[in-house]
Structure 1
């Protein structure tokens, strides 16, 4: 008589969680930005990227993809970049505010008919600066918030002008009233001392 023996095998896989995420960005020669995302700890990490809350697209990437830890962004990409690293036991992310690397896009036609259309470093730009050329410049920086400041400044200036105008009107009417009262007082005094309205008693 044979007795069957049943054996079971239990495999246990241990994964270390991701402890932290580091972002490292670098401007390239033509204004592109290379960004590296690295994680400390963690087994089999998987990467993903978002920009301002939206998944990075191929149109924003010069190289790499949304699942690699090294990407290169095109010159006009800016905003809040987030790298997320996850594995079976953890999910950690790191964010960084990125802007263009001081580059501008110029598009102009020179007097000789030459068309220039390229990204250049703003501080060293010597192209498309002739006032006789037809020039279109697109400047993209991380100071777009200054538009809000300009709107606030315009509002303050308008308020100052309005208050100055109201103050001027009030001063004008106060001056008119004072002038009117002065004229009325002067007229009253002339009536009191006018010879035709005075008399003298003579004893006969």
Structure 2
């Protein structure tokens, strides 16, 4: 399996230590979490698009089922991690709280289209590590925006900045993006906007030294077309 490094963002958590998020949409993504923290794994952009989803840990020969979804109804399997997980169906994000060392390992996802056909099995590797937070020493640089239209009309937008310990926040037309418009961890530097959204999009990046902002006027993406919108 070809390894693909997933998006990793670390920020100060509220009650469970560090919060990390990983873009695990590509097969072979490598995701990292802090021991005792919370991990968000974006498995798909919109789970309602699929007739069924299955998510499990371990190889296909010795797997432990975690999540089953069918017809917009999802169920967490009765496993030792049952009380520590949640699934956001609208944006396809899986959350794991109070991470433990044995949460590390291979996880697999199988999707079924509306006609019942399997679109294949996709894997990711999760690594839970001890993390010792340190204070940022370098200021954040002026952020840059780039975006790409997805195949079903969603827009995937990234905000990039140099510096130590950057944290990101997003607004659209002056309103903070919530988990109906973008993933619930919108402190990350990549978000996926639902089809039809447009207006003035602003990304703010900050650490304990400084902050900076970039804004762009965006138009909604046409459906069933993939192209770069911003450079």
Query: Shorter-chain TM-score category?
Result: 0.3 to 0.5
TM-score by length of 2: 0.37
Which structure: larger Rg? Answer: 1
Q: Specify which structure has the bigger relative contact order, considering alpha-carbon pairs within 8 angstroms and separated by 6 or more residues.
A: 2
Of Structure 1 and Structure 2, the greater strand share is in 2
TM-score by length of 1: 0.42
Of Structure 1 and Structure 2, the greater helix share is in 1
